[in-house]
């Protein structure tokens, strides 16, 4: 389905497939596994939407905003990496994979990321303020200049990740010391 300047509201779109979407919004919608295969999305806002086991394979996501959305078992690493810019706010992400992507200046502000994966991911200058990162893995990723102010439950090994000039809050920043195999009294 091709659409420009559109709004879909309160719809189950699990059986729909989108190919080219420009400047529009989805509000309180549900999507199926094949909804976005090979799709081109630009300047699209998703609010209160559900993405369960969605495949974004070969999808282009440019200037996409997700607000109050729910993601479960979504593999973002299959996205076309040359056309990928997203902002995620107040959303729930469970078992999502963001590996091998360039995501500079992305936002996950005030979101809950549970057991997500960021391996070989370029996240410099990203916004994790107020995020809950319980069980989320960062490995061999560039987090330089990212903001973790007010973030909780992160586990970031500074020996395998670039955290240069990151901003962290006290006392949560002390969790960075767990990878030093030291005892703090």
Q: Which CATH number characterizes residue 163's domain?
A: 2.160.20.80
- The model's pTM is 0.92
Kindly state the tokens that stand for 27: 């509000």
* Residue 46 placed within a domain: yes
Q: Structural domain tally of the chain?
A: 1
Using DSSP's 3-state secondary structure scheme, residue 160 falls into coil
Q: What pLDDT score does 179 carry?
A: 85
* Residue 113 placed within a domain: yes
Sign, CA dihedral 178-165-64-39, equals negative
- How many residues in total does the chain contain? 185
* Residue 49 placed within a domain: yes
* Residue 99 placed within a domain: yes
Q: What pLDDT score does 2 carry?
A: 52
Give the whole-angstrom CA distance, residue 141 versus residue 92: 22
Name residue, tokens 């994966």.
117
Q: What pLDDT score does 4 carry?
A: 58
Rounded (10°) CA dihedral 163, 169, 175, 177: 60
* Residue 2 placed within a domain: no
* Residue 183 placed within a domain: no
* Residue 139 placed within a domain: yes
Quick check: 123 and 102 in contact, CB under 8 A? no
Cβ neighbourhood burial of 9 (10 Å; 0-12, 13-18, 19+): exposed
Give the whole-angstrom CA distance, residue 40 versus residue 19: 6
Quick check: 174 and 153 in contact, CB under 8 A? no
Give the whole-angstrom CA distance, residue 59 versus residue 164: 31
Give the whole-angstrom CA distance, residue 110 versus residue 129: 6
pLDDT mean by block of 10 residues, the chain; 185 residues: 75 88 90 87 96 90 96 93 90 97 96 98 98 98 98 96 97 88 82
Range of the domain at 65: 11-177
Q: What pLDDT score does 173 carry?
A: 92
* Residue 182 placed within a domain: no
Q: What pLDDT score does 148 carry?
A: 98
């Amino acid at each position: 389905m091709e659409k420009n300047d559109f709004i879909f509201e309160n719809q189950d779109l699990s059986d729909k497939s989108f190919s080219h979407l420009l400047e529009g919004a989805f509000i309180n919608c549900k999507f199926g596994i094949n909804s976005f295969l090979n799709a081109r999305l630009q300047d699209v806002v998703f609010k209160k939407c559900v993405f369960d086991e969605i495949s974004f394979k070969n999808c282009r996501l440019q200037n996409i905003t997700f607000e109050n959305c729910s993601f479960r078992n979504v593999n973002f690493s299959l996205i076309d990496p040359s056309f990928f810019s997203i902002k995620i706010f107040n959303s729930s992400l469970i078992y999502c994979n963001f590996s091998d992507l360039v995501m500079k200046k992305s936002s996950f502000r005030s979101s809950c990321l549970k057991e997500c994966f960021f391996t070989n991911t370029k996240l410099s200058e990203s916004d994790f303020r107020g995020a809950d990162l319980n069980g989320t893995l960062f490995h061999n990723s560039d987090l330089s200049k990212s903001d973790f102010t007010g973030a909780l439950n992160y586990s970031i090994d500074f020996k395998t990740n670039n955290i240069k000039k990151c901003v962290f809050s006290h006392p949560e920043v002390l969790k960075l010391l767990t990878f030093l195999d030291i005892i703090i009294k």
